[in-house]
Homo-oligomer: A and B are copies of this chain.
């Protein structure tokens, strides 16, 4: 016997408040499709009329299994709900569901709105009733609810009761400032649902919870409210949101589905199959927003199931469950045993085996590889993410790296000047000289793309390097550079540049390589070379000249 718990996603509205995040309408459509695929119950698409992107998004409301919801605010005092143009714009979006925010904090009603407590109640009542009259589902978002409850619990509760009495399907208790402790949230919700003063309780199956992460407890706060009886949980993918973010649905959903007592007690719209797509979905959202995925993100982070300690890694090999709270595959993530100079030989062998490189226990190459990693990490290299460069390093020590070609020299020029039309233009040019067997090959490329725009020196270098690799040309033709990350880091006593390059090929394979140098072009070239070699090993291994 399970009790339905409803998931309300506000990535597209509250998530948009994240500093540095700016969705395009197309981004919003892609994220809507992801959320619908995941199985949330409501998708809050934005505030029609508040900005051009949101208005454009609602011009054609996407067809979704989830209930598409438009966000707005209660009518202002001194006019009827039907005559409030802001509310009208929200209703005009034509969504099945409408969520309106209103105040429940007595102090703010008086000071920020400058109206009486009675007027505010009437604004809530009339706005909700108007939405219901239009045949829509109404939600009331109780801004600053927990702070309001601390000041005047009777009034805060009255606002919620008013919204529900006027026909709101849900009243959502918002910890707008994110500073309320989970225990306090639980106490307040219990007090609402089963008041100790004998008053009539509010129905938990019409209450929602909306928390923020300002003390790092947004998800714990949401669960405390669920424990106390609310049945709708609001949050965002990857915990996007203003300041420290909203409750992170990417963490909450697996906890609700995989952990007791929630797994047995509640059902949600997310299936076990949907859950397996969670990691990919989280990364895809970061891709859309061009954010670096947080490696330590619960469940979906690249490090969430990474085992570094030598002690732990050997225990993991014996019994994976011993250091994992859930099976990584349930959320579409994977166990990794990264390399670093803390890792012992057993880590290293496990890693090499995963790459198809069988090495016997006690092989002296293992010690050499560990030493090399240690020395290179001291120079500024990092092999935690650049697994393809790690493989090249190991192959070099194991004498399993074919000598495909040798780079004799290169030269790159970047020039910015006025062209003959007196317009400033930039042009890059690269010359690369390689030797394949006994044959020397000079290649030159400029950085212009098909539209005539300059794509920069690394592009020119990459094109010159890939222009004529003779027998290997076919293998690398479908390679492309998809990301390029640069950090200034410390190599010994000097600051050096670390470049990590992500490459992709026509088979959808994606691999990362690293280069380190005080010179960014040189560091990039080193990472490019590793990337090309990794690809050649996969697709041209048999034809190496060495």
- A binding-site residues for B, Cβ under 8 Å: 16-20, 22, 51, 108, 111-112, 144, 176-183, 213-217, 219-220, 223-224, 227, 239, 242-245, 248, 251-252, 254-255, 259, 290, 292, 294-299, 301-309, 312, 315, 318-319, 322-326, 338, 340-342, 377, 382, 384-385, 408-418, 426, 428, 447, 453-459, 483-490, 494, 497, 517-522, 525
Contact = CB atoms under 8 A, between A and B. Distances in A.
B312 A215 contact: no
A338 to B, nearest CB: 6
B215 A251 contact: yes
A411 B255 CA distance: 56
Contacts of A518: 453-456, 459
Contact of A298 (B244, B306, B323): B244
A453 B319 contact: no
Contacts of A305: 243
Most buried by B among A22, A217, A301, A487: A217
Contacts of A414: 411-413, 457, 519, 521-522
B215 A259 contact: yes
A216 to B, nearest CB: 4
A332 to B, nearest CB: 16
A328 B16 CA distance: 23
Contacts of A415: 409-412
Given A51-B342, A453-B494, A22 B486 contact: no
Given A244-B298, A244-B304, A112 B456 contact: no
Contacts of A245: 296
B181 A259 contact: yes
Contact of A341 (B22, B301, B382): B22
Given A217-B219, A341-B22, A454-B519, A409 B413 contact: no
Nearest to A489: B290
Given A112-B322, A416-B522, A456-B518, A16 B306 contact: no
A447 B496 CA distance: 13
B179 A296 contact: no
A519 to B, nearest CB: 4
B182 A182 contact: yes
Contacts of A178: 325
Most buried by B among A179, A220, A290: A220
Nearest to A298: B216
A525 B416 contact: yes
Q: Which 5 A-B pairs have the closest CB atoms?
A: A179-B325, A220-B220, A456-B519, A486-B486, A409-B417
Contacts of A385: 20
Contacts of A342: 16-17, 22, 51
B326 A179 contact: yes
A389 to B, nearest CB: 14
Contact of A384 (B20, B182, B489): B20
Contact of A177 (B309, B325, B409): B325
Given A182-B220, A244-B298, A456-B518, 11 more contacts: A22-B377, A112-B319, A177-B325, A183-B224, A215-B251, A242-B303, A242-B308, A242-B309, A244-B301, A414-B521, A456-B517
A366 B1 CA distance: 59
B242 A304 contact: no
Contact of A409 (B179, B418, B454, B494): B418
A484 B216 CA distance: 29
Given A244-B296, A307-B242, A456 B411 contact: no
A377 B494 CA distance: 34
A484 B22 CA distance: 23
Given A251-B216, A312-B242, A342-B16, A426 B319 contact: no
22 contacts: A17-B308, A20-B382, A20-B384, A22-B342, A176-B323, A181-B223, A181-B255, A183-B223, A216-B248, A220-B220, A243-B303, A408-B417, A409-B415, A411-B414, A413-B413, A416-B525, A426-B519, A454-B517, A454-B518, A456-B497, A456-B518, A456-B522
Nearest to A251: B216
Contact of A215 (B17, B183, B219, B244): B219
Given A308-B242, A456-B518, A216 B219 contact: yes
